[in-house]
Structure 1
């Protein structure tokens, strides 16, 4: 395989470059940013966007030339006429097969054609992530200085687009407007590589009955993944402590004493006392200049931070620690006058700078058993059972955008069940044609012969699901600082984690009206907004109370696409057919096809499963399959 990306004849494809005009490679950029953070230094260089024509390069990414796709397969049919092996494998009745193959994925045209247009340089999106009441854009804002339509004017504070775009173009620098979400192709982008292997045993039991059992595996590398280069470098180390560790210790001090880490309205229990009891954290002391600095004043920097109403307000509606708003906290720190690290964010240039990479990977393993029956007294069938596991870091297809890893510094944090991971799948198709009237002539043969009934059953275990939560400006976007700027449109997968082992199961429960429970002195309605009283949990309140947010510095993963399982499901379809022969060459087939022939109600997974909308928690409001439908058809053949 030799793959070359499409080329725009005028060189109008946008690349990401540094101040010197050199191409930015995602893996090298992240490595440099991480190394600097571990040394207590900021690495947030000025980045620009330049066309391939101006760079004098032919392609937006390096053509792929390593597409060698070997395939090998072996089959062996042993012959044993007697003894134990004769009974097990028989004489020419068993076949053992094995194979291996390597293939390469097809790069979606969206990435090849659209993504090179999403970086400013050809187009110029203008945005303001943090609007201020004085009509300007800032690096952060508060309830006191945010721009409000009406009192502060009728025109949003946006800079005017540039009349011309220099090459390279550096948004947010030298008076240029700040760009919106900007995405480019990584120069090292390549098609995914898939290694597949299998081993099967096929055994003929009788002339009309056989089975096959086997294993199949798939190892995929170079999978599509979008990376936000402005993700918070949480390993930043000052005072001998990382930002992640400081964050985790403050969260633990504020949240864990109250209801197992839910951190809901902790101020009801004594806001001032809870904050005063938080130990000073070396990172915050060093990063904010220590006692006596312009921000900290006469108190410690940890206390100054926690007593700032933009970090934690008096009602608890703003709590950058309790609401796991890591990116918002990092932006707040960056905006303080005594911030010791200088520029650590790229948001002064764009709300997001994303690169489309091939850094993801996945693995699939499955065992299966297939049973076939051929015309046994008019009955033909094939049934298959599969037991599988699909794990990976890239949970969505490459036609998507703005979905990020939970932790770009540690891909394993996103490694977990894929969206399509189904542990068990069973399918069984049958066709029964009564043989009793075969060969009958006259009206009896025309009336009674030629009928067939063909049911088809599917059953499967549940899809991965997770309990979500809001992080104020966004959801699943900043628990690990994955979106450096929450004004961007990006998100990741974050699921709440159980405080104690989860034992509630995953089946639909009827007559569940919900209940009201007290969490840290506040009455909370759980699952009460549910007219059907159908819920995935028999006691949604106890489940809600047993889950907490995923916390940076404490947890290493947030459950990938979901750490729970949705509802098991099954369905039965069927077809009734009648064949009629008019002459030797002319005939007709009449069919009646049923979907969901038993009119079985199969509840779907919950429509609302978040900590922040507790009244809807766990409720089921729809069905997977439509009600029974019937289609009548006729076909004439000649």
Structure 2
């Protein structure tokens, strides 16, 4: 109902089942046979429910009874032989079937009365727990021995050219790392050039080159081709490794590590490799119920789930990691009937979640990313940028070496919950009141960039690489493991007042206190910086500068609830025909509900100053030299080596650093719990005994939601303009008029005596500090919806039909605090206007959501008598149709973020300019000025208003003028800002959307009776039975490690027209396939 995805409260049998680190459930209950009921409560009008502002999702597990009952089951998928090819496989490969992916889920359940041996004298040797003691046990195992192919979007030099590469600069460890740590240096997974490119790009060609070709002429053509008149001379260069011409096109390209006049070409390709990706899961549950007296019921429950995702982080560059996870949930409930009107229920629960992102097959060698406990052996991330790009694919750089900079990581989450709820019926009042206490412990091995990141970029990137002089180095010093503790308290009282027999008034209030766990970082840093030998920062600085600030706890989270339910009774007349007598319920209500702070916010503070020291060196200071470096890329660039070398060389001067000159993430001084105001009004009408209609208006108002903002913006370029940008001779104007009056900037100069403390990082910024990301409560949202539902039974109850449709609109100024696949930057583009300027359709907006389901029990031979009856009876047909609007997304670009660094107008969160709103969404333009500055296009005059097609540039390498009316969007960079007179793009957030979901799932069951108490069920299920190419959900995006069906195209504007990954091109999304599953289930 318009709330964020993290706002849902997950429970098992009414007890906590939340992952407080990122949100979502701690234990994923995926064994359907152990579930008695799924309860989803979306209107929090009862004060009994809280902790989150969204839905309450409670899974009720089965329990034993007086009769033994249970089942055995097996579900089987075989993608290679039963599933269809997806759209990408059909269009770009010669495959006749998908990659191997077997899926088997098997297990069983059993429950009933507890039988125990009876000791001592007596006629009975066994005590039978009928009506007194029951048990229930379940097990499910999943085995999914799948494989997948990881395909790279960057270029990698082929192994055949490694010896020539090393010979360029003997002893250069940077070049040596490319030959030992890049994609084609690792043989596992049958690494090879991508096999899915030829169809779309026209195939691979033996090539000849004119690296100084005039504008409008291709730099690369086929050896057999005749050059276009006026395009100059083309030369065929022979690759010494192969004795043949260099290849381009398809998956191939070349890098030129020489000059245009004296080229030195190296053969490269987009890499792909196969990974075994077996997924294993074992899940158990036990539940015991004991009734020692007629007034007492004691229930005990234990669930355990162990999972292993092998090669879950498998990348085309060879680096990979596994994800092992273990979840436990142990709980007990004692219900005591104190009197006929008073019942007390006490719950005690503990849950344990352990997840690691790390560890891989040792045979992978250096590309096996270690477990979090061995983070010191993690290989650094090595990245490359222009001009280290392909000759033909001019926007594609050398592929990254190493894994993600935030891997390995993990979390250990423990929750201890105690809750007591009392129910008291007094006259017309049904009172429910209670309290809950939770103690939470979260141990997190997580410190991004602990292994370091080395970058070779800027105009001198090739020179820097040949001299092992990185242009940027990022390295974080600090404690890789942090433990958080939290104590939560909840109190509530609810009165359901039955004013009349057909009118009930719901009144309640709830109070929640979750403390301020961020203050643990304050306590840790105060202890560390108060004379400890582990101090990171300069002890002469004020303690307040060197420590995480104290944040006042939020203590006023009162949540009132009010609602009503009225069932009108009209015995005759028009109103009787309209609403009937006890056939209609009119209900409505209002509620306030709060959300806690999830721990990812705390982890962001943990990774940077003043808790840690995230050092960042750039070519603007310590790395100014293009031929020497204080910290060259080591031959074995592991975290422990990089930390030791950096410390020994003085690059990481612990005890001398000043945190204000390091990147920081903060929370606002009034950081508090967001809340949601919820309201609804609905009418439910029963028509005869078998049809029910319902229509409701539901709305929510999100208040004080979490938002990320840039807390220390570069204001100098906006105030002063950009004279002679990057030495181009082009001047760019001031946009001071777009800022609040009086906005200024800092003038900061680096102190040469403190070489690795860069005081100049604040130059041009608003404050004397480095970059500051602030998490605050500045976001808000509105959701309005018309929700309708129908349920009916027909044909003597043989056919059941359910349908629902929601028409809604969600508006907000921030949908998340983090960037995801559909949010290129979570920050506002204008930090001085993070409210109204950001207001737009939400990333959560799905205007249309329709679903329908049908179950039809064929009315033949229901009794199943004789052979014919068993053969023809017991058939059931089922279907589910889901249609929803596509996922909104905000297009982003890679230009200002990469080329900004305080030297252009914006560095993050910038949005594009709209060319023609009616042009195809895939068509993107770039100003000729920006193409010249960023991509080296031909020189243009500073007053140029020409635009080029980014699509044509990516497809042919040629810069062809295009009218703004021919493109949907124009990349926001200094040139376009100059032309349009503003640096702030006019494209709103979530301007485009992905394809809609339109999926039909169908199944056929055959239920055969075997005696009186046993039934055999054979199942055939088809997901996306029509093989409609749409975003995958459910089983089409799974199982386990199988390549997930996509839901969005490439959202980066710079990739417009790129083959196999073009901006906004739905054809490049790997969409859902048809998946068929067979099953067998024996119930008793």
Normalising by structure 2, we get a TM-score of 0.39
1:568 has 2:993 as partner: no
1:372 has 2:861 as partner: no
Q: Could you tell me which runs of 5 or more consecutive residues in structure 2 were left unpaired when the two chains were aligned.
A: 1-511, 528-541, 634-645, 750-761, 929-943, 957-961, 1032-1046
Q: Which residue of 2 aligns with 1:357?
A: 776
Q: Which residue of 1 aligns with 2:1015?
A: 587
Q: Which residue of 2 aligns with 1:426?
A: 850
User: Partners in 1 of 2:615 and 2:955 — Cα distance?
Assistant: 43
Residue 569 of structure 1: how far off its partner (Å): 2.9
Residue 600 of structure 1: how far off its partner (Å): 1.6
Higher deviation after alignment, 620-629 or 93-102: 620-629
What do residues 82-118 of structure 1 show as CA deviations (whole Å, max 9, x unaligned)? 3332222122221111011111112112224x24424
Higher deviation after alignment, 407-416 or 205-214: 407-416
User: Partners in 2 of 1:554 and 1:458 — Cα distance?
Assistant: 43
Q: Which residue of 1 aligns with 2:620?
A: 131
Whether the 8 Å CA contact 2:925–2:971 is kept in 1: the answer is no
1:459–1:65 distance in 2 versus 1, CA, 3 Å: same
What do residues 337-374 of structure 1 show as CA deviations (whole Å, max 9, x unaligned)? xxxxx966267642x12222222211211111111112
What do residues 577-636 of structure 1 show as CA deviations (whole Å, max 9, x unaligned)? 111111111122221121111112237543255167455454334446432111111111
Partner secondary structure for residue 607 of structure 1? coil
Between 1 and 2, higher relative CO (CA 8 Å, sep ≥ 6) is seen in: 1
Residue 540 of structure 1: how far off its partner (Å): 12
2:601 equivalent among 94, 111, 115: 111
Partner secondary structure for residue 444 of structure 1? helix
What do residues 197-244 of structure 1 show as CA deviations (whole Å, max 9, x unaligned)? 11111111222111100111111112112232212459xxxxxxxx9x
Residue 575 of structure 1: how far off its partner (Å): 1.8
Residue 505 of structure 1: how far off its partner (Å): 7.7
User: Partners in 1 of 2:927 and 2:600 — Cα distance?
Assistant: 48
1:11 has 2:436 as partner: no
Partner secondary structure for residue 1000 of structure 2? strand
User: Partners in 2 of 1:523 and 1:593 — Cα distance?
Assistant: 50
Partner secondary structure for residue 49 of structure 1? helix
Residue 150 of structure 1: how far off its partner (Å): 2.0
User: Partners in 1 of 2:763 and 2:560 — Cα distance?
Assistant: 49
User: Partners in 2 of 1:84 and 1:478 — Cα distance?
Assistant: 72
Residue 558 of structure 1: how far off its partner (Å): 4.5
Q: Which residue of 1 aligns with 2:235?
A: none
1:10–1:226 distance in 2 versus 1, CA, 3 Å: closer
> How do 1:437-452 and structure 2 match up within 5 A?
437-452=861-876
Residue 5 of structure 1: how far off its partner (Å): 2.3
User: Partners in 2 of 1:9 and 1:462 — Cα distance?
Assistant: 40
Whether the 8 Å CA contact 1:108–1:399 is kept in 2: the answer is no
1:408 has 2:920 as partner: no
User: Partners in 1 of 2:926 and 2:555 — Cα distance?
Assistant: 62
Residue 151 of structure 1: how far off its partner (Å): 6.0
User: Partners in 1 of 2:900 and 2:673 — Cα distance?
Assistant: 28
Partner secondary structure for residue 86 of structure 1? helix
1:49 has 2:531 as partner: no
Residue 185 of structure 1: how far off its partner (Å): 2.7
Q: Which residue of 1 aligns with 2:627?
A: 150
Q: Which residue of 1 aligns with 2:1078?
A: 632
Higher deviation after alignment, 540-549 or 61-70: 540-549
> How do 1:78-97 and structure 2 match up within 5 A?
78-97=568-587
1:601–1:345 distance in 2 versus 1, CA, 3 Å: closer
1:354–1:440 distance in 2 versus 1, CA, 3 Å: closer
Q: Which residue of 2 aligns with 1:38?
A: none
> How do 1:324-339 and structure 2 match up within 5 A?
none
2:728 equivalent among 288, 313, 320: 313
Q: Which residue of 1 aligns with 2:1035?
A: none
User: Partners in 2 of 1:459 and 1:474 — Cα distance?
Assistant: 39
User: Partners in 1 of 2:903 and 2:583 — Cα distance?
Assistant: 58
1:231 equivalent among 713, 730, 734: 713
Q: Which residue of 1 aligns with 2:55?
A: none
User: Partners in 1 of 2:1048 and 2:873 — Cα distance?
Assistant: 44
Whether the 8 Å CA contact 2:1004–2:1020 is kept in 1: the answer is yes
User: Partners in 1 of 2:904 and 2:572 — Cα distance?
Assistant: 65
What do residues 246-288 of structure 1 show as CA deviations (whole Å, max 9, x unaligned)? x6xxxxxxxxxxxxxxxxxxxxxxxxxxxxxxxxxxx75xxxx
Whether the 8 Å CA contact 2:595–2:675 is kept in 1: the answer is yes
User: Partners in 2 of 1:522 and 1:10 — Cα distance?
Assistant: 51
User: Partners in 2 of 1:608 and 1:107 — Cα distance?
Assistant: 29
User: Partners in 2 of 1:438 and 1:589 — Cα distance?
Assistant: 15
User: Partners in 1 of 2:561 and 2:803 — Cα distance?
Assistant: 29
1:99 has 2:581 as partner: no
Residue 121 of structure 1: how far off its partner (Å): 3.6
Q: Could you tell me which runs of 5 or more consecutive residues in structure 1 were left unpaired when the two chains were aligned.
A: 16-45, 137-146, 173-177, 235-242, 248-282, 285-304, 337-341, 532-538
2:651 equivalent among 160, 164, 175: 160
1:613–1:515 distance in 2 versus 1, CA, 3 Å: closer
Whether the 8 Å CA contact 2:675–2:704 is kept in 1: the answer is yes
Q: Which residue of 2 aligns with 1:42?
A: none
Partner secondary structure for residue 409 of structure 1? coil
> How do 1:579-618 and structure 2 match up within 5 A?
579-602=1007-1030, 605-607=1048-1050, 610=1053, 613=1056, 616-618=1062-1064
Whether the 8 Å CA contact 1:601–1:623 is kept in 2: the answer is no
Whether the 8 Å CA contact 1:526–1:617 is kept in 2: the answer is no
Residue 520 of structure 1: how far off its partner (Å): 6.0
User: Partners in 2 of 1:119 and 1:470 — Cα distance?
Assistant: 24
Whether the 8 Å CA contact 1:413–1:558 is kept in 2: the answer is no
User: Partners in 1 of 2:849 and 2:669 — Cα distance?
Assistant: 40
Whether the 8 Å CA contact 1:225–1:359 is kept in 2: the answer is yes
1:474 equivalent among 883, 888, 898: 898
Residue 527 of structure 1: how far off its partner (Å): 6.5
How many residue pairs were aligned?
481
Residue 426 of structure 1: how far off its partner (Å): 0.6
Whether the 8 Å CA contact 1:499–1:548 is kept in 2: the answer is no
What do residues 171-205 of structure 1 show as CA deviations (whole Å, max 9, x unaligned)? 46xxxxx32x2112333111111111111111112
User: Partners in 2 of 1:344 and 1:522 — Cα distance?
Assistant: 30
User: Partners in 2 of 1:585 and 1:540 — Cα distance?
Assistant: 75
Whether the 8 Å CA contact 2:925–2:948 is kept in 1: the answer is no
1:503 has 2:918 as partner: yes
1:480–1:63 distance in 2 versus 1, CA, 3 Å: farther
Bigger strand share: 2
1:499–1:310 distance in 2 versus 1, CA, 3 Å: closer
Q: Which residue of 2 aligns with 1:417?
A: 841
User: Partners in 2 of 1:618 and 1:399 — Cα distance?
Assistant: 18
User: Partners in 1 of 2:886 and 2:545 — Cα distance?
Assistant: 45
Residue 456 of structure 1: how far off its partner (Å): 0.7
User: Partners in 1 of 2:1025 and 2:952 — Cα distance?
Assistant: 32
Whether the 8 Å CA contact 1:540–1:617 is kept in 2: the answer is no
1:526 has 2:951 as partner: yes
1:521–1:397 distance in 2 versus 1, CA, 3 Å: closer
User: Partners in 2 of 1:375 and 1:103 — Cα distance?
Assistant: 40
Higher deviation after alignment, 559-568 or 102-111: 559-568
Higher deviation after alignment, 471-480 or 64-73: 471-480
Partner secondary structure for residue 578 of structure 2? helix
Residue 422 of structure 1: how far off its partner (Å): 0.7
Q: Which residue of 1 aligns with 2:565?
A: 75
User: Partners in 2 of 1:232 and 1:523 — Cα distance?
Assistant: 28
User: Partners in 2 of 1:565 and 1:393 — Cα distance?
Assistant: 17
Q: Which residue of 2 aligns with 1:388?
A: 808
Partner secondary structure for residue 569 of structure 2? coil
Partner secondary structure for residue 408 of structure 1? coil
1:562–1:545 distance in 2 versus 1, CA, 3 Å: closer
User: Partners in 1 of 2:707 and 2:521 — Cα distance?
Assistant: 27
Partner secondary structure for residue 1028 of structure 2? coil
